Amino acid sequence: MTLTALKQYQRLECPGLWLESPEAQRRDIVVSIGETSLVLRDPRNEQVLAHWSLPAVVRSNPGQMPALYTPGPDATEALELSDPTMIAALDTVARAIAAARPQPGRLRGAIYVFIGILVGGTIVNWLPGALRGHTASVAPASVRAEIGQMAFDDITRLTGAPCTEPQAQAALAGLSQRLFGEAAPPIVLVLRDGLIIPNRLPGDIVLVPRALIEGEDGPLALAEAVATQGARANQGDPLMPILAHAGLRDTFTLLTTGDLPRDSLSGYGEVFLRSMPPATAVPGVLPDPLMPDADWVALQAICDL
């Protein structure tokens, strides 16, 4: 399997066998995933032999090898593939397209409109977002935590290490438990420089600027920030901007292998520190007291080390 650069992203390529019609003989070709279509080329002169619209491609023998594809349910052309990476790519695209389609019934007319728009070219903009959304939806907690740590490592390249005075860090952990319970409270970390407003990362990591502690008379502003960021589960998945930064190829790698290449997050720190999380109302009623006075005094010295 080779990767050939396109203007917007890299495309997958592999050899295949093409049957132009039931009467024709099978022909050696090169198959690649383009921006909106499956491209079939002559390996001898690179001449394009056919374009198959990705949303219309049908696998006629699911689960069997070699895989057989047609450019539509009633098409007479056929394509035979044995390359496992290309087969996995086409299966992933098919699942992403199927997941985004409305259910049949009264919305049947909308389905036809939707497919027409895709065939017309909107898939160029739609497919990356659909792939990111599908990948984020199936990423397990362990993978999210690992990616969150990778993003945090790139962020601290700019901000420096978080403030970790032991007694103050224990006070932060206690505040998180009072706000969210002891089962799985978010990890709260204080950054010395660079972070302007609180934000969060996958793996339930909440980052707050030290100004929320050093410039306040009490823990209310800090507690509101932690409660707000920890409750943003329905306000946007923090994995989505990371996958947007990583790009389509590395997102696909994460989906198919469970690993995000480490260099794909290079430079994400700058993006994260410029981002503005959506405004949220503080959920529920905050506990009273938020923390013992001794904990607040200790917390104000969290960045002294």
pLDDT digits (tens, 9 = 90+) for 75-117: 888 999 998 888 888 887 777 666 655 555 544 555 565 565 5
- Give the total number of structural domains in the chain: 2
Mapping DSSP to helix (H, G, I), strand (E, B) and coil, where does residue 147 land? helix
pLDDT over 90 for what percent of the chain?
21
User: For residues 195 and 123, what is the distance between their CA atoms, to the nearest angstrom?
Assistant: 36
Distance from the first to the final alpha carbon of the chain: 51
Residues of the chain with pLDDT under 70: 1-11, 35, 96-126, 232-235, 278-280, 282-284, 305
Task: Clarify whether residues 25 and 82 are in a common domain.
Answer: yes
Closest alpha carbon to 15 in 32, 30, 26, 1 = 30
Answer whether 242's CB lies under 8 Å from 254's CB: no
Task: Clarify whether residues 239 and 184 are in a common domain.
Answer: yes
Task: Clarify whether residues 145 and 294 are in a common domain.
Answer: yes
CA 11, 14, 15, 21 torsion: positive or negative? negative
- For the question of whether the overall pTM of this predicted structure is more than 0.85, the answer is no
Q: Which domain holds residue 246?
A: 141-299
Give pLDDT, residue 285.
74
Task: Clarify whether residues 81 and 184 are in a common domain.
Answer: no
Neighbours of 96 (CB within 10 A): 20
Cβ neighbours of residue 167 closer than 8 Å, sequence gap 6 or more: 298
Give pLDDT, residue 242.
93
267 within some domain: yes
Task: Clarify whether residues 83 and 182 are in a common domain.
Answer: no
120 within some domain: no
135 within some domain: no
